[in-house]
Structure 1
Amino acid sequence: MDKLSIINYPLSIIHCKTVKVLVVGNGGREHALAWKLLQSPQVQQCFCTPGNGGTALLEGCENLSYTVDDFANIARFVQQDKVDLVVVGPEVPLAQGITDYLQGYNIKVFGPTQAGAQIESSKSWAKKLMADAGIAIAQGETFKDADAAKAYIAKQGAPIVVKADKLAAGKGVIVAQTIEEAQTAVDELIGTGFSSIVVEEFLQGEEVSILALTDGKTVRPLLPAQDHKRIGEGDTGLNTGGMGAYAPAPIATPELLARVQTEILEPTVTALRQRGINYCGVLYAGLMVTPEGDPKVLEYNCRFGDPETQAVLPLLETPLDELLMACVEGRLEEFPPLQWYDGSAVCVVAASEGYPGSYEKGKVIQGITKAEALGSTVFQAGTKLEGDTLLTDGGRVLGVTSRGKDFNKAIETVYGCLEAIDFSGQYYRRDIGHRVR
């Protein structure tokens, strides 16, 4: 950071106080958040609940035993240990109202209230919000009745998209190439407990993820990212929670980002405010850039993306705690321009064999220290520490991230580092970032 940038920062950054932060969640995203928060000269300690093997080993970080929905014990710990800020990682506790609960105890929370979290927890609610605000979206309808949904699909034709209306861990989206496939998807989703589904048009183009931070008035986007949702190389196979990501995405030009700001992000915040929702947190816009160059919203999420966060945060030079606190305290408009490191970052997810279907846990993980010595940061997701042994404990196990002066260098480094890591059944795609090579 240059001298001018330091001078322009708020005095609170220069005259540091000790800050304690609690991160709620146990995935790679939460490991990345804790890692970035601890790089701030202000952050004295970070807690993660329940955390994972990576946060357990992170210097300055301590795992707690509370589950993400144990609001009472989380609130009690924050008060007793005088934690300054709670950062909520996953969507489920946000949809369950963790922010509302903690705010009832005057606890500072980065993450929207339950009302705001509807932007992810109900796709139909989010679509109406955006339609009322005049935001460009994929056209579609919401259905509770399977026969009505199938009739609509038959009329519209394929390809067409079928989505679970409620939370589905990032995997409740089926892009159907035929009418038969779409109608089968309707039966599968309704048959697995979803009371309503959304059927919408298939948009052609290229996807991009915009993680924007807001205090309910001002919106500040982070660097644009692209992720790879499909399990197979060449973007084939089943949808997953994400098999890799890279930033900054070249398709998101300054001109496109300016349009996203004025045509999508700002109208969304205004629409939320008009509904009495003071939205403080991440507005994660999943966009389709059409062949004509127009951005359309595929969906909104109410939290940091995973694995996009693991690619974006290594490029952020601005202290993350200051940025999040500015959102919580409603002073984002006064916050100086965000500072970024030069170059590119690429994250590749190492998964358990069988993911996103069934998989085994408890495999010994080796080689992380060597991989990090070769130039990566290994964000742990589905891991746990038993004594001194690190074991797999989920489908997406690791997010191996490398920075480089350009995408080619970052990609070369990250795959070299992955060769150093080993656990039984390890699987990762070898073409992450293929669009930018």
Structure 2
Amino acid sequence: MGLNVLLLGSGGREHAMAWSMAKSDRLDDLYIAPGNPGTAQLGENVDLALADFDAILAFVENNNIDLTVVGPEQPLVEGITDFLEAEGHKVFGPSRIAAQLEGSKKFANEFMKKNHIPTADFETYSQDEFDQALSVIKKKDNYPVVLKADGLAGGKGVFICETEEEVEKRLDELKENTRFGDAAETLVVEEFMKGEEASVFVISDGKTAKIIHYAQDHKRIGEGDTGLNTGGMGAYAPTPVLGKRMLQRIEKEVILPTVSAMLLDGNPYKGILYCGLMITEEGPKVVEYNCRFGDPECQAILPSLESDLLELMEAAADQRLDQKEVRIDDKYRCCVVLASKGYPLDYEKGKEITGIEDVSDDALVFHAGTKAEGGKIFTDGGRVMNVVGAGKTLPEAIKNTYSEVKKINFENKYYRSDIGAKGLAHLDE
């Protein structure tokens, strides 16, 4: 008997998840709330607000949903898993407390310190202690320094400051800018870690944890990793930054201690654990945890998954992940984000998108910030679409992706042309 599945979310990540789950023999009916024009081709989009837990519960009960899969972090941090499980419904995604690994930088840093998981040195300050934070930073005079809003800020609450002036500017921004909301009520100040960033994605049922895949994200808006932080401008997988031996170290020093400590603390971690890492001279160190798939890394890694994603999620929810195998193909994949000019700040919406149908069958297009009207597709967000190409080598995957990127057009289309370049540099070493 098949599963009726409700997938929560509306971005490129959720389109990729829907695409992957739609291939499963275990799937009966797939609903996506609220979804986007891409997910509408794979299941039924449902007009539900992610903050309206009661409406989600009513839908789950009225439509005999067997498994609710939570895509974005906000409902997880707000406790959607606990809420639905308390009513007897199965959910793929961590509990509210487990999701604090992403929901609170302070919680995550203190958790890592207590459990000897390698990360940066840090200090935390409440908003009325920002002046104290500034004087401590001035006294240390050790730049660059990293400032992080404690709570969720859509990937835009982290600042790497090179000078005292920049620290002052960013502290004022965190204190006064309404776009951070409650996220900046607590400040985390971290030492800057030198090295190469990489992301490892793990599926866990609370007791067993298995690596799905690993990738490298590109957070900054500008070429060569310049400009403001974004939700992510592109990713590729696998990354040569992580060799077999380094992956073994990450499993031993980061993943297993994290999952074990959460279990011992009485907060078993069930769902996707994203380990954002810095590979330093001393070894792997955690930059951040996320309690869900990364976006756009998800779009680059799920097409590589040969195992049945829905079966893995169901096994994790049922605490029988030890019976499942994670299999990945041997191809490289590159994902390039097409954004609206002005993102991550002000940008225009409502621009018609053309050329989607011209993209090769060998590539994938995932919708993110789009809307459908009158048989046409229009821009409706900062990050608009994701184009994913594949290849036997990384250079081939990058080349194939960018040849497809050129086919999709909308007014003021912006994308980075250097996604994967850091990986190529490693191949040349």
Does TM, scored on the shorter chain, surpass 0.5?
yes
Q: Does 1:276 align with 2:263?
A: no
- Please state whether the residue corresponding to 1:53 is helix, strand or coil: coil
**1:5 aligned residue:** none
Amino acid at match of 1:180: E
Runs of 4+ in 1 over 6 A off after TM superposition: none
Amino acid at match of 1:339: R
State, as a whole percentage, how many aligned pairs show the same letter.
49
**2:83 aligned residue:** 101
Q: For residues 436 and 128 of structure 1, what CA distance do their matches in structure 2 show?
A: 32
Q: Tell me the alpha carbon deviations over residues 346-381 of structure 1, each in whole angstroms, 9 at most, x when there is no partner.
A: 0000000110110011111111111144x3100110
Amino acid at match of 1:404: G
Q: Equivalences for 1:133-172 in 2 at 5 Å? A: 133-144=115-126, 145-156=129-140, 157-172=142-157
**2:308 aligned residue:** 319
**1:429 aligned residue:** 416
Q: Does 1:414 align with 2:372?
A: no
- Please state whether the residue corresponding to 2:289 is helix, strand or coil: strand
Q: Tell me the alpha carbon deviations over residues 404-432 of structure 1, each in whole angstroms, 9 at most, x when there is no partner.
A: 11111111111111111011110011111
**2:33 aligned residue:** 49
**1:115 aligned residue:** 97
**1:397 aligned residue:** 384
Q: Does 1:179 align with 2:164?
A: yes
Shift of 1:289: 0.2
Shift of 1:278: 1.8
Shift of 1:62: 0.8
**2:3 aligned residue:** 19
Q: Does 1:216 align with 2:206?
A: yes
Q: For residues 248 and 139 of structure 2, what CA distance do their matches in structure 1 show?
A: 37
Amino acid at match of 2:92: F
Preserved contact between residue 241 and residue 423 of structure 2 (Cα < 8 Å): no
Choose which of 234, 239, 252 in structure 2 pairs with 1:262. Answer: 252
- Please state whether the residue corresponding to 1:203 is helix, strand or coil: coil
Structure 1, unaligned stretches of length 5 or more?
1-16
Choose which of 187, 197, 205 in structure 1 pairs with 2:187. Answer: 197
Shift of 1:98: 0.6
- Please state whether the residue corresponding to 2:353 is helix, strand or coil: coil
Q: For residues 372 and 280 of structure 1, what CA distance do their matches in structure 2 show?
A: 37
Amino acid at match of 2:135: A
- Please state whether the residue corresponding to 1:265 is helix, strand or coil: helix
**1:73 aligned residue:** 55
Aligned alpha-carbon RMSD (Å): 1.1
Preserved contact between residue 212 and residue 220 of structure 1 (Cα < 8 Å): yes
Structure 2, unaligned stretches of length 5 or more?
425-429
Preserved contact between residue 25 and residue 89 of structure 1 (Cα < 8 Å): yes
Amino acid at match of 2:213: L
Tell me the matched-pair count. Answer: 416
- Please state whether the residue corresponding to 1:222 is helix, strand or coil: strand
- Please state whether the residue corresponding to 2:287 is helix, strand or coil: strand
- Please state whether the residue corresponding to 2:154 is helix, strand or coil: coil
**1:306 aligned residue:** 295
Shift of 1:339: 1.3
**1:244 aligned residue:** 234
Shift of 1:183: 2.4
**1:340 aligned residue:** 328
Amino acid at match of 1:170: G
**1:366 aligned residue:** 354
Q: Tell me the alpha carbon deviations over residues 189-211 of structure 1, each in whole angstroms, 9 at most, x when there is no partner.
A: 12234211100100000000011
- Please state whether the residue corresponding to 2:20 is helix, strand or coil: helix
Q: For residues 365 and 189 of structure 2, what CA distance do their matches in structure 1 show?
A: 38
Q: State TM-score, norm by structure 1.
A: 0.93
Q: Does 1:285 align with 2:271?
A: no
Q: For residues 374 and 7 of structure 2, what CA distance do their matches in structure 1 show?
A: 23
